[in-house]
Amino acid sequence: MPTGVAIRDVRTQLFEAADRILLRDGPSGLTSRAVTTEAGCAKGVLHRHFDDFDAFLAEFVLDRVGRLAPEAAALRESAGTGTVADNLTAALEGLFGSVAVAIVALVTFRDELRLRLRQTWPAGVPVLTEAAVLLAEYLGAERDLGRLAADADVEILAYTLIGAGHLLFADRTGAPPETAAVRKMVSTVIAGTLPAPGA
């Protein structure tokens, strides 16, 4: 790798390599050597920019959490349009069709990574807990618009949707669930919170 390359470029290159490995080989295939080989970097590049491999992984996970922001904005803007079930279905497919499912497996797989993440992320698996917050914000907006019952517990709904969604998408080796299956799950979860017709 040429000298003088900006650290942001190196980080991006390494993180994108980690994405590809995680999606292709799962958490057990994600090693420092695999990342630098995939990124086309010398072995020492990763360790020049990160204290150790778990520090790299922690920053990688938090970077991927940060990438939820545009999806969150789009979901919030969809409040009041389309149907609540369709908006949630699209959001869950976007979330779990990404590297998020593999990150959950990675955090579960590596004890040291969980300890590192606890320093900045007090509870839960970062991608899933952040996604639950985003869903709860969206559901709150729909409740304020009267498209969900006034007493709907948006936090419980969000965590239920994230948990059920993760179970639907958790098998990395199989085909992802059909949109109809995701919509059926979403519709079942929110059924009791939709206002009665004509209400």
pLDDT band at 122 (very low <50, low <70, confident <90, very high): low
Write down all domains in the chain, each with its CATH number in brackets: 7-49 (1.10.10.60), 61-193 (1.10.357.10)
> How confident is the model over 47-70, as a mean pLDDT?
84
Cα 77 to the chain's mean position, in Å? 19
The predicted pLDDT at position 3 comes to: 44
The predicted pLDDT at position 6 comes to: 46
Extract the tokens encoding 39. 């990124």
Percent of the chain with pLDDT over 90: 39
Whether residue 4 is predicted with pLDDT greater than 50 in this model: the reply is: no
Whether residue 98 is predicted with pLDDT greater than 50 in this model: the reply is: yes
> How confident is the model over 166-177, as a mean pLDDT?
76
For residue 151, give the amino acid letter.
D
Dist CA 59 CA 106 (whole Å): 13
pLDDT band at 121 (very low <50, low <70, confident <90, very high): low
CA dihedral 174, 13, 34, 32 (to 10 degrees): -120
The predicted pLDDT at position 23 comes to: 82
The predicted pLDDT at position 27 comes to: 84
Of the chain, the end-to-end C-alpha distance in Å amounts to: 64
Asked if 84 and 181 touch (Cβ cutoff 8 Å), the reply is no
pLDDT band at 113 (very low <50, low <70, confident <90, very high): confident
